[in-house]
Amino acid sequence: MVRRRAVPLLAVAAVVLATVAVVAGIRDTQLRSTPAATNTALVDVGATAEAAGQLSDAVEAVYSFDFARLDENERAARDVITPEFAAQFDRLFGEVRALAPQQQAVVSATVTHSAVKEITGDRAVVVAFVDQQATRAAPDAQAQQLAAAGRLTVTGERVDGRWKIAAVTPL
């Protein structure tokens, strides 16, 4: 009599274990496919620090210039941008080339804080807090000191192991 009861009990236990395994597998797949699970910024401290550091340096290179060294400034900036961002940079730097020599402008951009919102594959989104200090000293005017602060959303792309600016949106 004990033997007859063991067979149905084993069958029930097997069904329960199979059900638990299926549910666990489904739940595991759901958890791994959530946006949080695919966002490297939430799970890889080293990759997050690398993206934040390199993109902060890139922002400083793109938004800093000295009227006496514009060619050098442009080369440094082009080294940290992607072709995707080049048209926007060309417009910005075209204005700098037109106005900076007349005003003898020197602008220094500093990223004071940054936060990586997302890293997915070779794309990163960083919010950067930027301070700019500017000096203008047109020949016929007194030197002026200016300061400005702003926030930017910077989309970066990893190219040959380095993070470069692919897009910038002011906040």
Structure confidence at residue 142 as a pLDDT band (50, 70, 90): confident
Is the distance from CB of 114 to CB of 128 less than 8 angstroms?
A: yes
Residue 107 placed within a domain: yes
Please tell me the pTM assigned to this model: 0.79
Q: Which domain holds residue 56?
A: 45-170
Return the closest-CA partner of residue 144 out of 135, 152, 153: 135
Residue 93 placed within a domain: yes
Residue 153 placed within a domain: yes
Residue 38 placed within a domain: no
Residue 53 placed within a domain: yes
- What pLDDT does 36 receive? 63
Residue 104 placed within a domain: yes
* Residue 103: both structure tokens together: 């005003």
Q: Indicate the number of domains in the chain.
A: 1
156 to 63, 118, 120, 129, 146: CA distances (angstroms)? 16, 10, 11, 16, 29
Residue 136 placed within a domain: yes
> Could you give the percent of the chain with pLDDT greater than 70?
76
